[in-house]
Amino acid sequence: MNDPTIFRKPNNRKLDVSEIRKDFPILQTSVKGNPLVYLDNAASSHMPQCVIDRISEYHLSEHSNIHRAVHKLSEEATAKFEESRTIVKEFLNARDEKEIIFTRGTTGGINLVAKSYGEKFLREGDEVLISHLEHHSNIVPWQMLCQKVGAELKVIPVTQEGEVDLEEYKSMLSTKTKFLSLTHVSNALGTVLPIKTMIKEARSYGIPVLVDGAQGVPHMTIDLRDIDCDFYVFSGHKMCGPSGVGVLYGKEELLNKMDPYEGGGDMILSVTFEKTLYNKIPYKFEAGTPPIAQAIGLGRAVNYLQSIGLNQINQHEKELLAYATKRLDEISGLTIIGRSKHKAGVISFVMDGVHPHDVGTLLNDKGVAVRTGHHCAQPTMQRFGVPATTRASFYLYNTISDIDQLINGIHSIKKIFD
């Protein structure tokens, strides 16, 4: 396929955002007569034309079921699906393709681990540790597990800046701690957690660690051998890929010890009514027909991000964050929630006398898309004493002018509510 974007080579120069924007047709949308300013990337990012084309090409000429039939289409679809697994493996610097499991998303991956690892290895009196910055998807599965096996869920506190309290964390680790599950980046506040330091501490107790990378993978270079976690999960639709697909990385040794998650086709070697022999990893955890088109689209999204360069994207987002922070700080009556020195391109704020939902509706009138609410992180909101915030989150195609539009929108809201 003739796709210029996959021949684009990353370099050390700044991103050419105006060129990048041409790759994303949806950015031409207008909202109420205004050009769309999309600042809700932490919820879902957009797909470049090359990913849309790749998915379309699959449906036009490759669509079939995988790992089954001997006919041409099935063999091609299988090859492309497995090729995506290799692309993802190399992208994350994992050791082997069998450590890459396709899921339906981050939530699916966490539930898989909570069930297949947690229910097998955790017992009454054990402790599961999470942070106060987790998304509901990294709280509820552990709560369900704890209720089921009689374990206790413990929460690492966060500071007023929105950072994990490392001293508290260290004091909470003990021989009773049997699992640590942490977000890489807080979706509500943007805090980047010091996961390497935290994992090192957990290692001295032999505690397995899952990292929720839904907000990590899209925005920074991930080297799983360097991070050295046991599990890492993320979603396709926050990294220029389609929804409906995600990845669970797991260390081979642990995946082999775990029970299957769902039963069905593809996860078996043989089935009789008396006994079923399970397939080897990764297939043991991929029961039923997987999201084939989506996985292939995700592979193309990874290639696209690689062609731009994750370090370049990260640097670009840092510049946007610094500018947005400066401009928002100039507005009286506006408070940014989360002041960590280590933040991704996410900025959450509240305004005196204006509820975030009113902010969101009125910004939409100006074409600016932000997220308002509790961001599926109600405990984080409670920690900071707010029911909800307005959140702007950036990606590779956002510009300084996008932030200016946001700021103009906020000023007009202030006028309305004065």
Partner 1 sequence: MNLYQEVILDHNKKPRNWGTLSNPTHQAEGLNPLCGDRIWLMLEVMDESIVDIAVDGESCAICKASASMMTLSVKGKPLKLAEELTSVFRKMVLGEHNESDESQLGRLKIFQGIKDLPSRVKCAVLPWHTLQAAVNSQGRISTEGSDDPISS
Active site residue ranges: 376
Does position 44 interact with partner 1 (CB under 8 A)? The reply is no
Among 373, 399, 407, 414, binds partner 1 (CB under 8 A): 373
Among 210, 281, 305, 354, binds partner 1 (CB under 8 A): 354
Closest separation in Å from C-beta 137 to partner 1: 17
Q: How many Cβ atoms sit within 10 Å of the Cβ of residue 246?
A: 30
Among 1, 60, 277, 416, binds partner 1 (CB under 8 A): 416
Kindly tell me which of 116 and 389 has the beta carbon lying closer to partner 1.
389
Q: How many Cβ atoms sit within 10 Å of the Cβ of residue 272?
A: 7
| Structure-token pair, residue 260 | 């299957």
Closest separation in Å from C-beta 391 to partner 1: 13
Does position 388 interact with partner 1 (CB under 8 A)? The reply is yes
Does position 358 interact with partner 1 (CB under 8 A)? The reply is yes
Containing 234, the helix (H) or strand (E) segment is strand 231-235
Kindly tell me which of 177 and 187 has the beta carbon lying closer to partner 1.
187
Kindly tell me which of 65 and 143 has the beta carbon lying closer to partner 1.
143
Nearest to 113 by CA among 184, 211, 198: 211
Among 309, 356, 379, 409, binds partner 1 (CB under 8 A): 356
CB of 260 closer than 8 Å to CB of 66 = no
Kindly tell me which of 68 and 355 has the beta carbon lying closer to partner 1.
355
Does position 139 interact with partner 1 (CB under 8 A)? The reply is no
Closest separation in Å from C-beta 214 to partner 1: 20
Does position 374 interact with partner 1 (CB under 8 A)? The reply is yes
Closest separation in Å from C-beta 372 to partner 1: 7
Closest separation in Å from C-beta 164 to partner 1: 24
The helix/strand/coil state of 239 is coil
Q: What is the rounded radius of gyration, in angstroms, for the C-alpha atoms of the chain? A: 22
Looking at residue 31, its amino acid is V
Binding segment toward partner 1, per CB under 8 A, in 77-85, 193-201, 306-314, 367-375: 367-375
Strands 127-131 and 177-183: parallel
Kindly tell me which of 128 and 359 has the beta carbon lying closer to partner 1.
359
Does position 380 interact with partner 1 (CB under 8 A)? The reply is no
Binding segment toward partner 1, per CB under 8 A, in 72-80, 137-145, 222-230, 373-381: 373-381
Kindly tell me which of 323 and 417 has the beta carbon lying closer to partner 1.
417
How are strands ordered across the β-sheet holding 209-212? 100-103, 246-250, 231-235, 209-212, 177-183, 127-131, 152-156
Among 327, 365, 407, 408, binds partner 1 (CB under 8 A): 365
What CA–CA distance (Å, rounded) separates 105 from 67?
21
What CA–CA distance (Å, rounded) separates 159 from 349?
17
The contact pattern for partner 1, residues 300-319, with x = CB under 8 A and - = no contact, is: --------------------
Closest separation in Å from C-beta 346 to partner 1: 19
- Cis omega (within 30 of 0) on the bond before 141? no
Looking at residue 152, its amino acid is E
Does position 156 interact with partner 1 (CB under 8 A)? The reply is no
User: ∠248-252-253 over CA atoms, to 5°?
Assistant: 130
DSSP secondary structure letters along 61-111 = II---SSS--SHHHHHHHHHHHHHHHHHHHHHT-S-GGGEEEESSHHHHHH
What CA–CA distance (Å, rounded) separates 40 from 395?
9
Task: Specify burial of residue 28 (Cβ count, 10 A radius: 0-12, 13-18, 19+).
Answer: exposed
Among 357, 400, 401, 411, binds partner 1 (CB under 8 A): 357
User: ∠54-283-275 over CA atoms, to 5°?
Assistant: 145
Does position 76 interact with partner 1 (CB under 8 A)? The reply is no
Kindly tell me which of 255 and 413 has the beta carbon lying closer to partner 1.
413
Closest separation in Å from C-beta 139 to partner 1: 15
Kindly tell me which of 104 and 132 has the beta carbon lying closer to partner 1.
132
What CA–CA distance (Å, rounded) separates 244 from 406?
30
Does position 348 interact with partner 1 (CB under 8 A)? The reply is no
Closest separation in Å from C-beta 387 to partner 1: 2
What residue ranges bind partner 1 (CB under 8 A)? 354-358, 361-362, 365, 372-374, 378, 381, 386-388, 416-417
